[in-house]
Structure 1
Amino acid sequence: MNLRVAAVQYRLEDISSFAQFAEQVTHYVRNASEYEVQFLLFPEFLTTQLLSMTDSKGNALKIEDLPSFTDDYVNLFRGLAAEYGMHIIGGTHVIADAAGKRRNVAHLFDPDGRVVTQAKLHLTPTEVAEWNMAPGEGLEVFDTPFGTMAMLTCYDIEFPEIVRMARAKGANIIFCPSCTDDRHGFYRVRYCCHARTIENQIYIVTTGTVGSLRKVDFMRANFGQAAILSPNDIPFPPAGIIAEGVINEDMLVVGDLDVSLLEKVRAAGSVTTWRDRRTDLYPDWK
């Protein structure tokens, strides 16, 4: 199974209306459609750009205001996925669940109108202490016409166990939307993405925010780069990098994935890390 994927290095900048947000998002989707992309990934905390819109007193909106945009967000991305026949991971958006808990949730929009979600499972100190968020309560994988995939957001990728669980459930591709404000955070995520491709012999597509929201607390600095990563073995590019962007530039990164190669290296690669895991010494997941 072959597919073409793309990741957006999304430039955050202050806006004054939802229409401006929609115009910017649509630009990237149209750009990806020109490359005949099947899956498009946007970064974590994409919709914090909406917080740069001001209230009646000229103050930036607060994180508790973000769930009020959920219907508009879903309608925008659902419409774009249908119009362009594309699977779109719309980054993450902060929602409030039925119990009033605030969660950071990745959304996958299919061309047929299906919308599936995965809440972030591991939260950073800022998300907990400053934004009063709650973690997700379970891992899902999602079947698509191009195979099984999972969405693990930023900090999630730094926990090998959860990625191992996604692979055990059948995921061949992990989409990892991210948002980091400095080099330290960026490289934590990036290096862990590489490690997870080697441990599980999977593809990972990741991207982050760039630019700055001058009015929004904790979003004033962003350090990001998109990358499409493979296991580090002979059938794949050297260093396991299929494609990567220019750090902190506004751009689209595109690459092709051959899922059949994953099965080949799992069976007879230079190393066979998935097959050789010692389940007699440490647990596996069903």
Structure 2
Amino acid sequence: MKIRVSAVQYKLQNIKSFEEFSKQCEHYIRNAEEYGAEFVLFPEFFTTQLLSMGDGQNPLTINELPGFTEQYRDLFRTFAVQTGMHIIGGTHVIRKEDKLYNVAHLFYPDGRVEEQAKLHITPTEVQEWNMDKGESFRIFDTDKGKIAILTCYDIEFPEIVRMAKAQGADVIFCPSCTDDRHGFHRVRYTCHARAIENQVYVVVTGTVGSLTNVDFMRANFGQAAVITPNDIPFPPKGLMAEGELNDDMLITADLDLSLLYEVRERGSVTTWRDRRTDIYPDWNSTVEG
């Protein structure tokens, strides 16, 4: 089975209304639809663009971002139903019991909306935005197979991707937001490592552009990529597709799931099968599903 995926390099720029945000999102959605995408990935924190709607010198604060949650969900739910695509709507900051969480949203073509909170949060998220970490992890069933959504810093922890693979996920979607080369390469290199270790596809993207009046969103360094295991059926560098660095664009690629099953059984290396579970934990026996 093949899956066509698109990943959006979302350009952050100051806006004056939710309608401007909506039109920019629709542009990417329609572009992905024209390419026949079945899954579309938006980046982490792309809805912080809404904070630029303040009066110029005084943008909205992170504590006001959850106030847009229903508008955001209604917008992307409509996109998913209208296009028949699964949309990983980046992440949006929501409030639960007076705590802020950085939450990825999966919008299904039938109108369902599922959530995955970011599990590992950075010092900036804690110290500057007073955010809390998510407490649970799950994979998502779709009519194209099982997927997982791990946000930015999450992908830097190999254990959680082991859990995703043990529960049957073949594709990991990774919305990210990095402000410089160091952060960008941390995420990119670990995406490649996770794809090799678990013989899965990783689809990653990030924000580009700048919000000139929003603290901690002034600088963005991003690039979308569709990453594969490094074995003969795949491109030698493990890159199925890659965007132009820091450009406003999207990429599209076809993921052949049968190739994953092939290399897991008889690849040049069989990293998942060759785990030394007599020495370290066997995630197959320590997670449900």
TM range (shorter): over 0.9
Question: Of 118, 127, 136, which aligns to 1:129?
Answer: 127
2:223–2:245 CA contact under 8 A, matched in 1? yes
Matches within 5 A, 1:67-216: 67-97=66-96, 99-216=97-214
**TM-aligned CA deviation for residue 238 of structure 1:** 1.4
2:57–2:213 CA contact under 8 A, matched in 1? no
Whole-Å separation in 1 of the counterparts to 2:282 and 2:167: 11
**Is 1:27 matched with 2:53?**
no
**Is 1:66 matched with 2:28?**
no
Structure 1, residues 53-104: CA drift from partner, whole Å, max 9, x if none? Answer: 015x85100000000000000000000001111100000000001x211000
* Secondary structure of 1:238 counterpart: coil
Match of 1:258 in 2: 256
Match of 2:277 in 1: 279
* Secondary structure of 2:254 counterpart: strand
Structure 1 residue ranges, 4+ long, deviating more than 4 angstroms after superposition: none
2:10–2:207 CA contact under 8 A, matched in 1? yes
Whole-Å separation in 2 of the counterparts to 1:181 and 1:7: 18
Provide the TM-score with structure 1 as the length reference.
0.98
**TM-aligned CA deviation for residue 241 of structure 1:** 0.3
Whole-Å separation in 1 of the counterparts to 2:89 and 2:139: 16
**TM-aligned CA deviation for residue 237 of structure 1:** 1.1
Task: Please tell me the residue identity of whatever aligns with 2:6.
Answer: A
**Is 1:2 matched with 2:2?**
yes
Match of 2:51 in 1: 51
Task: Please tell me the residue identity of whatever aligns with 2:229.
Answer: P
Q: State the aligned residue count.
A: 284
Whole-Å separation in 1 of the counterparts to 2:83 and 2:261: 30
* Secondary structure of 1:5 counterpart: strand
Provide the TM-score with structure 2 as the length reference.
0.97
Q: Quote the RMSD (CA, aligned, Å).
A: 0.8
Structure 1, residues 16-60: CA drift from partner, whole Å, max 9, x if none? Answer: 0000000000000000000000000000001000000015x8510
Match of 2:12 in 1: 12
* Secondary structure of 2:251 counterpart: strand
* Secondary structure of 2:102 counterpart: strand
Task: Please tell me the residue identity of whatever aligns with 1:16.
Answer: K
Whole-Å separation in 2 of the counterparts to 1:86 and 1:70: 21
Task: Please tell me the residue identity of whatever aligns with 2:67.
Answer: S
Whole-Å separation in 2 of the counterparts to 1:175 and 1:270: 25
Whole-Å separation in 2 of the counterparts to 1:283 and 1:211: 42
Identity of aligned residues (%): 68
Whole-Å separation in 2 of the counterparts to 1:58 and 1:127: 23
Whole-Å separation in 2 of the counterparts to 1:108 and 1:89: 5
**TM-aligned CA deviation for residue 192 of structure 1:** 0.3
